[in-house]
């Protein structure tokens, strides 16, 4: 039996989107630092990571204005974040490696997956469409970030569950309300579950099996 908490869904959703945008922007900043990009490169990579998935979601759902246009202050926040990072952060403050990006990326994965699925459900999309929109929102920004940085997208190459975590966890948004949970609780639970699944995969080192197409007929 779920406990209903009197929290405004719009406020919870907005806070989750803000945190997700910040987490993915941070992952973009770390990747830009690792690649030693210039100021324009830093802003572009951080912007793609933060806004790319939500923009693709809005395009597919024919949703206007785009979420970052609706909240234009986020653009100023992104520019300020990039400026502060380039001004003050140095190698001694953090280890600029792929490992450093994994945790903000995992947090963004959970938050954006839940947010994207919630938006699709609010537009009366079928459950499977809403779940896929959650995956697109969470994954596409990182894919763009890695492509621009001349990397095979991490979502496709590290073999640790990533998009699968988003897909599985987003179903909580669909199932939990049917079990008596409020939409607010379902949203928070989905975000926490997705981040936790990704975190478990990172800590345990579990990897999905790679497709082996090299089998030969020995006849």
CB 79 within 8 A of CB 43: yes
pTM of the predicted model as reported, rounded to 2 decimal places: 0.76
DSSP class of residue 71 equals T
Q: Where are the alpha helices (DSSP H) in the chain?
A: 9-34, 39-60, 67-70, 73-88, 98-122, 127-148, 154-157, 163-178, 183-204
pLDDT band at 98 (very low <50, low <70, confident <90, very high): low
The mean pLDDT value for 18-24 works out to 77
pLDDT band at 132 (very low <50, low <70, confident <90, very high): very high
The size of the chain, in residues, is 219
Q: What is the pLDDT of residue 4?
A: 46
Write the CB contacts of 51 (distance below 8 Å, at least 6 apart in sequence).
21, 66, 67, 68, 74, 141
pLDDT band at 59 (very low <50, low <70, confident <90, very high): very high
Write the CB contacts of 171 (distance below 8 Å, at least 6 apart in sequence).
127, 131
- Give CA–CA dist 42/154, Å, rounded: 18
Residue 170 has pLDDT above 80, yes or no: yes
User: Each residue of 65-95: pLDDT tens digit?
Assistant: 887 888 788 888 889 888 888 887 666 555 5
Q: What is the pLDDT of residue 168?
A: 92
The mean pLDDT value for 189-197 works out to 91
- Give CA–CA dist 4/79, Å, rounded: 38
The mean pLDDT value for 44-59 works out to 90
CB 42 within 8 A of CB 6: no
Calculate the average pLDDT of the chain.
Answer: 81
- Give CA–CA dist 209/164, Å, rounded: 13
């Amino acid at each position: 039996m779920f406990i209903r908490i009197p929290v405004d869904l719009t406020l919870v959703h907005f806070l989750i989107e803000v945190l997700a945008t910040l987490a993915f922007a941070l992952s973009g900043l770390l990747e830009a630092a690792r690649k030693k990009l210039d100021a324009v490169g830093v802003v572009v990579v951080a912007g793609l990571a933060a806004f790319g998935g939500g923009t693709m979601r809005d395009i597919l759902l024919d949703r206007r204005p785009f979420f970052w246009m609706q909240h234009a202050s986020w653009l100023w926040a992104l520019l300020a974040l990039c400026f502060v990072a380039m001004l003050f952060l140095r190698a001694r403050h953090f280890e600029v490696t792929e490992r450093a990006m994994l945790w903000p990326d995992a947090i963004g994965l959970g938050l954006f997956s839940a947010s994207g699925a919630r938006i699709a459900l609010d537009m009366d999309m079928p459950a499977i469409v809403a779940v896929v929109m959650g995956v697109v929102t969470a994954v596409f920004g990182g894919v763009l970030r890695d492509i621009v940085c001349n990397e095979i997208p991490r979502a496709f190459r590290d073999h640790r569950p990533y998009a699968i975590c988003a897909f599985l966890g987003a179903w909580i948004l669909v199932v939990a309300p049917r079990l008596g949970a409020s939409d607010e609780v379902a949203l928070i639970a989905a975000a926490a579950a997705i981040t936790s699944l990704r975190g478990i995969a990172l800590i345990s080192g579990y990897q999905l099996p790679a497709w082996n197409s090299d089998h030969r007929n020995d006849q």
